Amino acid sequence: MLLRNILLCLLFLAPGISFSQNTATITGLVTGEQNQPVEFATVVLEGTRFGATTNSNGDFTIKNLPAGTYQVRALLLGFTCTPQQVSLNAGETQTITIQLTPVSREIAEVEVFGVPNKQPEKLDVITRLPLKPSDQIQSISVISDRLIQEQGALTITDVTRNVPGVYNFATYGNKRESISSRGFRGIPVVKNGVRINSDFRGVGVLTDMEGVESIQIMKGASSISQGVAGDIGSPGGIVNIVTKTPKYEKGGYASLRVGSFGQVRPSFDVYGPLNESKTVAFRLNAALERADSYRKGVSLEKFYINPSLEWKPDNMTTLTLEMDYLNDSRTPDLGTIALSDDRYNIYTLPFDKFLGYTTDRTITKNATYAARLNRKLNDTYSIRAAIFRSDLDVPEIATRLSQGKRDENGDFILPGNQRQRSVVQSDRIDKNTVIQLDFIGQDVRTGFVKHTFQTGMDFRTNYLELPTYSSTVMDTIDVYTNIPNSMPKEAVSKITGTTISEATSIGFMVQDVMEFTPWAKAMVGARYSTTESRSSATAVIVRGDAINPLAGIILTPYKGLNVFASYTNSTSPRTAARLDKDGKELGNERIDQLEAGIKSDWFDNRLRFNLTLYKINNRNMNLQAVERDENGVLIQMPYFIKGGNDERKGIEVELVGRVLENLELIAGYARISAEYKEHTTFVEGSSPLNTPDHTANFWANYQVRNGSFKGLSLGGGVYYVGARPSNDWTNDGVDYHEITPGQAPWYLKAYTTVHLQASYQVNEHVGLRLLANNILNAEGYNAYRTSFINPIEPRNFAGVLTYRF
């Protein structure tokens, strides 16, 4: 029996043995231009399923090949090669060498996370150091225009949802975007390093994605390079919108996007050198958009243009001039209402109902300007000078809702389904200027220590003009019945006053990254900031100063793996003038931050894995003093005290890159624990409004590079935002922002959206992309407290036709 079984096994194996003896093998070496071995290159036999990946010595082996003739090609991002023809006989082994040549086109065009092994464009505007993100002791994520185009993203929220722990705080009626991170309300959103809106909480901005080269998200304090917490040194982080810059090769495209709700959006981008010596280059991109909305009576009209010019008089000097202009006219959408303020009771307002008037309109006119000079003094030292300017004007006529007055018990007179409507006019004129000067040294040696350092200064000015208009009460509506959208009478709008605020700040800083060995670095830095502000509302000039340190270490136990830890703090002078019981000013608040994690890149920087842990505490707040009366009721005292503890801590995990030559992947998860731990205003253990405990993101895109379906790309993403408190939870007896004292907030429900894209490159010029957003038609809301309760956009589709030249 045993002998029979052995014979049967040999009989079944015989065809396989015979096949293996009649197959062929290709072995070889993949090298670069200098004949150095290239690791992680993919070697393919075109038109077949056979392939291999090179090892650390650049070697590869492809076995079990049928006899025949093959075209052998090596693939590696940023390189090209000429395919080799190999003819194989049965049982033969051939050895070949393939040489890769770098492509001239910038790799940033084909990567979703920027250029490998290079600092992203304009990141030094924020960090002030010439280091790539993996070498910084701060959590930094960069999303390039490659991903923006791939996903068809049109808003800042669309882009930043690809970064763990970054989420939309509020849209204030879908008329601007406020972004939050790590439990901090509305972190600053800047464009090319200059603040667009000077509100310290970042009430939101608008931009157009056509002019965006990348969006850079730096989480945690940027106080060393950017200043105090009330400015863009926010402890929650900063979002930098980087506009497109000139290229020294000819190219560009024109595209037309047509989508749901009447969207029509033509756009173009053209660039190239202006002279034969390629010392001057330009770029011009622009977009027009006209769209309605899922909401009846809501529409959008937008124009955007972004010209730029760059001059390189020699190989040591670069001067870049930039400008972009946005004119966005849209209907502010009040969304829906909450039928009660003590529990989740959002009314699902039908999309054919609109709570405002047909005359409501918000116009955002924003122009930014930049001039940047980079001059290399030699291979070690360089200087950098830049001036940035932003002019913002936001005139608006909009409807306001109110539940009316309260009765003697504190309850609203109007029932939850009714609102009083008023019309109010407003305007905001906001001008910001930033001047930066830096002296930079790279690979400077003092003994056995190698330094990369920066020392510099910056000067910032802000001018803010806020006219105040009277409002007109128009009528009362019931969401259960028909809602008229024509004004029943003429609205009277008179200026009752204008507040003008001006502020200046100066900062001096130094940063030094010291490399003691190839595997051990330390970073130290300090900044001195001065601030001065005044308002026409008072006759007081407020002055303040602060010193903020930075210290951290970076260990590299393995090439491509950095382990880091850091401490920094940021200073807030916003409430420094508050007086204690003895009439003395309490001074600045200070927020401390500890951060640690792993930054790693794999497969020649094609895949990045980052893990960050953070803890941020503000134990140095200037708090309203409270005492309990004989009945145990909290009474707010007419002075302030020093103390408290607002804490934010959490974990962020990020995986991004090209796991295969034709498969891109972005995945992330964040756990956010934000609590008022010791506070005289808020309930112990409660969370700041609109802070989710969890966020998660996933996106994958597969490109077909060979065969009949070459040029086809398929992608999809899933995004999750956890439940968020609709309001802050104040202590009983404490009045704060018209919140009902002692009332626990209800929570906006968690939601998950799913998005798909398919594109096909017909030839080198023509491409078509189809987009399907929120395909499961998930329901979710963003809100500012219990106002502006706006649903996320329902299921929608778009098609984009692009011609490249």
Residues 129 and 120: beta-carbon distance below 8 Å: no
Looking at residue 698, what is its pLDDT?
97
Quote the pTM value.
0.84
Contact present, 531 and 233 (Cβ < 8 Å): no
> Over the stretch 173-196, which tens digit does the pLDDT of each residue have?
999 999 999 999 888 898 988 888
Of 453, 431, 429, the closest CA to residue 440 belongs to: 453
Mean per-residue pLDDT over the chain, rounded: 89
Judged against a pLDDT cut of 80, whether residue 34 lies above it is answered with no
Q: Is the pLDDT of residue 646 over 90?
A: yes
What beta strand segments (E) does 536-588 contain? Answer: 541-558, 561-572
User: Locate tokens 């956890």: which residue?
Assistant: 722
Confidence tier at 224 by pLDDT (50, 70, 90) = confident
- At 35, the pLDDT band (50, 70, 90 cuts) reads confident
Chain-centre distance of CA 364, in angstroms?
21
Q: How far apart are CA 299 and CA 321, in angstroms?
A: 34
pLDDT one-digit tens code per residue, 579-626: 889 999 888 899 999 999 999 888 777 788 999 999 999 988 999 888
pLDDT band of residue 721 (cuts 50, 70, 90) is: very high
Mean pLDDT across 396-416? 84
SS3 content of the chain, % helix, strand, coil (to 5): 5, 55, 35
Contact call for residues 729 and 720 (beta carbons, < 8 A): no
pLDDT of residue 20: 44
Which pLDDT belongs to residue 342? 86
8 A C-beta contact, residue 407 and residue 413:
yes
Quote the pLDDT of residue 606.
77
Give the pLDDT confidence of 91-147 residue by residue, as tens digits. 899 999 998 876 544 333 345 666 655 778 888 888 888 888 888 888 888 898 989
The average pLDDT across 207-231 equals 86
Query: Considering the chain, what percentage of its residues have pLDDT values greater than 70?
Result: 95
Query: At 690, is the pLDDT very low, low, confident or very high (cuts 50, 70, 90)?
Result: very high
As a whole number, mean pLDDT of residues 425-445 equals 94
Which pLDDT score is estimated for 379? 86
Q: Which pLDDT band holds residue 80 (cuts at 50, 70, 90)?
A: confident
CB 316, CB 297: distance < 8 Å: no
Residue 78 has pLDDT above 90, yes or no: no
pLDDT of residue 164: 95
pLDDT in tens, 791-802: 999 999 999 999
pLDDT tops 70 at residue 202: no
Q: What is the pLDDT of residues 336-378, one digit of tens each?
A: 999 988 899 999 999 999 999 999 999 999 999 999 999 999 9
How far is C-alpha 735 from the geometric centre of its chain's CA atoms?
34
Angle CA(291)–CA(297)–CA(299) in degrees, nearest 5?
Answer: 25
Q: Which two tokens stand for residue 131?
A: 């280091």
